[in-house]
Amino acid sequence: MRLVVKGMGEPLAGELDIPVSKYHAHRALILASLADGTSHIHGACGAGHVRHTIGALRDLGTSITVDADTFVVRGGRYQPVRPEVSVGSSGTTLYFLTGLTALAGAPVTITGQKYFRRRPIRPLLDALAGIGVEITATDGLLPIRIPARPPTGGRVEIPGTLSQWISSLLLVSPFATGPTVVDVVGPFNERSYVDLTIAMMRQFGLHVTVRADGRRFEIDPGQRATPAVVHLPPDVGAAAFGLAAAALHPSDVLFRGLPAVGAGDLDHPEADLLEYLREMGLPLRRDPATGWVRVRHDGSRLAPVRVDCRAVPDMLPVLSVLGAHARGTTVLENVAHVRLKESDRVAAMAQLNRMGGRVRLDGDRLLCEGVPQLREADLSSFNDHRVLMALAVAASRATGESRLTYPNAHRISYPRFLDQMNGIGMNMAVDRAPVRPDPRRAVPTPGRLAAVVLGDLVRRHARAQPDQHAVIEAASPGRPGGPLTWRELDRRADEAASLLRELGVGPGDVVAWQLPNWHEFVVLTLATVRIGAVCCPMMPFFREREVADLLRRSRARVFVVCHRFRGRDHVAETAAVLAAPDPPGVAHVLVVGGTGALPDTPAGARWQRFDAATARQRPDPAALRAHRPAPDALAQLLFTSGTSGAPKGVLHRMDTLTRAAAMQARHLGLTAADRLYVPSPLAHQTGFLYGMWVGLVLGAPVVLQPVWDGPTALVTLHRTGATFVQAATPFLADLVDAVADGGEPPAALRTFVATGAAVPRALARQARATLGAAVCGAWGSTESCLGTLSAPTDEPAHAWGTDGRALRGVRVRVTDDAGAVLPAGAEGNFEVSSDCLFVGYLDQPEWTAAALTPDGWYRSGDLAVIDDAGFVRITGRVRDVINRGGEKIPVAEVEQLLHTHPAVRDVAIVAMPDPRLGERACAFVVPRQPLTFAGMQRFLDEHKLAKQYWPERLETVAELPRNVVGKVQKFLLRDQLKKIISEETQ
């Protein structure tokens, strides 16, 4: 189902009934449940999250009934009716009841909806433990087990990140056996919500003393809650969406239940929103007949506003929508903690960029530049009620028809949202029509696909969608032809396969080529595997030395090269290789592009133009079928990138590659309806497998870019509507820069998987906001294919703060040097097991044996930590560990920290020899602006990093040496450092 919102320009008119405040309802219900006797709460609230609180309290034995519009609550000591209490998906319910369940008459386990179980709660659990609440929770996540034992009191500190953590401590502390002092440390967000908690506690006879600075709370023990009568005020948070709609359209709308008073006179923590709306120019007037707020105007452009989101964090979604329609730039400050709500709301609202908006993250500020008009788009609500409603309001002013996921999310806080909005003239509806299965959107089944050879899969696509694009070659001036359709790709692959057979290529033979990201690369791949031969692509930047070595080692009889590329004459270079005293045994050279005579090689290799040679072929279908390989035939010989030594020849089977491609597609929800952008070299596994091969398996078009350039990439993404890309971290940084320099965010791009090197968290956060796409961390290798991957729905800390979790069908573990498996949280050697492992290294059985454990796991050579939730964090390479006098330096974490320095564009830390300590750390930095060693030290000191971990030398460089997939070649930096030190000591 989707929420369909049609853009419209008609005026809005009518009345909106504002529901009562769920903030007050949560607190009133919980406080009433603690009071011996009967309380009456007038203004029954139907919000979904409040229903979660009611359900949890009933599970704890509290009687709650509804009489007309009044909750009747009979409170007293909790007597749980079941051992498990679910908080559903309500963060407020979770945070408030976690401590209070210690007051129950029996032990309780708190649980919640599956996706909700990763909600951050560890800081609260630590603080509750500090006042004597005994809690058992694995890695600070649900489920949480709490014995029936009241708190003892004590003095604790709690971060001021979320008000609900502080309110939770205040609610339980009056029932402790000793006095409690709560100190708020760090930035204090949402202070008005804490004030509301204290005010409502007072209504139920519970008292909290607040020190003058507002950061220390003192609570006497042994207090008793008394019943009360509470009248719930209107919910400004719900009214916000109607007010925003009335601001974006000509309107005459009465907000029934919302009194026309100043913000200071309204009992609601989000009352300041009304003042911000007035500042933006929205006429909030008192209706003389009712006293409620009325908005009446003929249409006007709003003024920008500056908002401190620490006061009204839940208003960020609706304020960003209003900012998108204002004249100028709306600045939403202090937004970091808003990312810990039901979803990462900062990233979610960056989807306005898909609608033509201009939203970007600048440090801890979200900047929303107004635009004249938004356009329709498919959007995700992330099952977040405020994101859904805010984007729906934005879509009402867009052109065309927009669609949003999780259409019923609004029920969490505003059940009547759709009825109310449509009642004043908007056009929103849940599309409940039966959805016919669309084969283009089918989720792949890895096992089933792996049983089919790639050539047959492509024939299926050619029959099912013959005229749809299969390969789109972008940014290749002077190249012949346009995109290849599936019919054309299938035909050209047959022609090339017939040519290879004519040249004597048989099953298991190696065909080598050195080509850029051109469509001939795809044609050759398909042709080679179609006859059971083995693909051996080589990087375009390899020179004669590397090419000669790899041709000898691969024993390829056919070699395909381009005529010229990026100023190099590959024909002349290849001729020189084949004319050398000890030439490789290449019998045939096929040249892509160019004109004129081809060279004669003394060794007797025959040269032909690839296009002419394939064009004269008349494929025999029966002959090609006769040479069709088995699914488990060898299909790929790929040489590693050589970050730590000589390249190794990695052999893979066809079913392994297909299974690996399908596993990733299943994990990310990729289907034939996607468009896969491939800027990574096709001669590397990132481009070969997770660009081209995924597209051939799914039937999704692949968009090839031969030469990387950020601005060109942005143009290509816009022109082709690409939805997915997997590429190295520098590609992501350049794309972000292209948008930051004034480019339009790529509207269709949905997911960017960053591989090859850890994604700096600051970059990932900026990319999510700038591009409007999910950024996912991953780990893989040529030998194992992709092993771990985060998902777009993961919490930000996991999506880009880790390398993801094991894909379904993959097992991962961490071991010590003796091979013993280590527990969660321990650093050790990272090992992988799956059906996607390589066959072995070409002609190097001893290398193969060394790469595998006795029980068949692949030794990656990486160090890692796996947390209790299964998320992997690669901490470095085994050979890159810096051992400073017996203390191992957490290189990856220090690099992540330095990446946040405003003067640092890129950084890598390597070991330098030291006669006393063995090794010390040196930071190689690519600066954005001048950076001194003392400045770096001050930065690390300000961020409280242990001095033993500080780099003890700084080298600034123009760029870091990286291989084609973005991995920093630290061995080159170590060599460079040794040379520098040697010269200094001479």
Q: Over range 721-741, report the average pLDDT.
A: 89
CATH dotted code for 2-16+234-425? 3.65.10.10
Q: Please choose, from the candidates 230, 231, 201, the residue with its C-alpha nearest in 3D space to the C-alpha of residue 39.
A: 230
pLDDT greater than 90 at residue 8: no
Does the global pTM surpass 0.75?
no
Give Cα 45 distance to the centre of its chain. Answer: 35
Amino acid (1-letter code) at residue 282: L
Helix (H) or strand (E) holding 158: strand 154-159
979 annotated as a binding-site residue: no
- The answer to the question of whether 22 is labelled as a binding residue is yes
- pLDDT tens, residue by residue, 224-257: 999 999 999 999 999 999 999 999 999 999 999 9
Q: According to the annotation, is 345 in a ligand binding site?
A: yes
* pLDDT of 797: 65
Burial class (CB in 10 A: 0-12, 13-18, 19+), 405: middle
Q: Could you give the 3-state DSSP secondary structure of residue 153?
A: coil
Q: Distance between CA 82 and CA 60 in Å, rounded? A: 8
Mean pLDDT of 143-154: 94
pLDDT digits (tens, 9 = 90+) for 25-38: 999 999 999 999 99
Residues 20, 260: contact at Cβ < 8 Å?
Answer: no
**Please, which residues bridge with residue 811 across strands?**
833
Q: 762-796 pLDDT, tens per residue?
A: 788 788 778 878 888 899 999 999 999 988 767 66
Which segments of 115-271 does DSSP mark as H helices, in order? 122-130, 163-172, 191-203, 236-248
Max mean pLDDT range (103-112, 350-359, 472-481): 103-112
- C-alpha to C-alpha distance for 120 and 102, rounded to whole angstroms: 20
Q: Which residues pair with 48 in a beta bridge?
A: none
Give the mean pLDDT of 211-222: 95
Which CATH superfamily does the domain covering 22-231 fall into?
Enolpyruvate transferase domain (3.65.10.10)
Known binder of ligand: residue 386?
A: yes
CB neighbours of 231 closer than 8 A, spacing ≥ 6? 42, 43
Q: Residues 140-150: what's their mean pLDDT?
A: 88
Contact (Cβ atoms closer than 8 angstroms) between residue 320 and residue 349: yes
441 has a pLDDT exceeding 60: no
> 874, 881, 525, 912: which is closest to 729 by C-alpha?
874
The yes-or-no verdict on residue 643 having pLDDT over 50 is no
Which tens digits make up the pLDDT trace of 513-535?
999 999 999 999 999 999 999 99
Question: pLDDT category, 122, cuts 50, 70, 90?
Answer: confident
Residue 364 tokens read as: 């801890």
Does the active-site annotation cover 314? yes
Average pLDDT over residues 709-731: 90
Which one-letter amino acid corresponds to residue 467?
Answer: D
Q: Is 438 helix (H, G, I), strand (E, B) or coil?
A: coil
**Which has the closest alpha carbon to 529: 657, 700, 617, 677?**
657
At 322, which helix (H) or strand (E)? helix 316-324
- 27 marked as binding residue: yes
Contact call for residues 412 and 113 (beta carbons, < 8 A): no
Can 2-16+234-425 and 881-985 be said to share one CATH topology?
A: no
Please give the Cα distance from 52 to 851 (Å, whole number).
51
Are 832 and 862 a contacting pair, CB within 8 Å?
A: no
Higher pLDDT, 971 or 17: 17
Which residue's structure tokens are 């079941």? 82
**For range 275-283, the mean pLDDT:** 95
Cβ burial 134-156 (10 Å sphere, 16+ → b, else e): ebebeebbbebbbebeebebbeb
How far is the C-alpha of 862 from the C-alpha of 5, rounded, in Å?
Answer: 48
What percentage of the chain carries pLDDT values higher than 70? Answer: 95
More confident call, 46 vs 463: 463
Write down the mean pLDDT value for the chain. Answer: 90
Q: What is the largest CA-CA distance in the chain?
A: 103
Q: Assess whether pLDDT exceeds 50 at residue 743.
A: yes
pLDDT of residue 435: 45
Q: What is the pLDDT of residue 593?
A: 92
pLDDT at 572: 94
pLDDT higher than 50, residue 546: yes
What residue ranges do the domains of the chain occupy? 2-16+234-425, 22-231, 881-985
In the predicted structure, residue 642 carries a pLDDT above the cut 70: no
pLDDT tens for each residue of 915-956: 767 778 999 999 999 999 999 999 998 887 778 889 999 999
- Consult the annotation and say whether 163 binds a ligand: yes
Separation between Cα atoms, residue 813 and residue 316, nearest integer Å = 40
Closest CA to 911 of 938, 889, 939: 889
Please give the CATH number for the structural domain made up of 881-985.
3.30.300.30
Q: Is 91 marked as binding a ligand?
A: yes
Q: Could you report the per-residue pLDDT of 829-842, keeping only the tens digit for each?
A: 999 999 999 999 99
- Check whether 938 is labelled as a binding-site residue: no
Q: What is the mean pLDDT of residues 369-385?
A: 88
Contact 343, 115 (CB under 8 A): no
- Give the pLDDT score at 923: 96
Residue of 59, 314, 655, 674 with catalytic role: 314
Taking the C-alpha atoms of residue 773 and residue 745, their distance in angstroms, rounded to an integer, is: 9
664/655 Cα distance (integer angstroms): 14
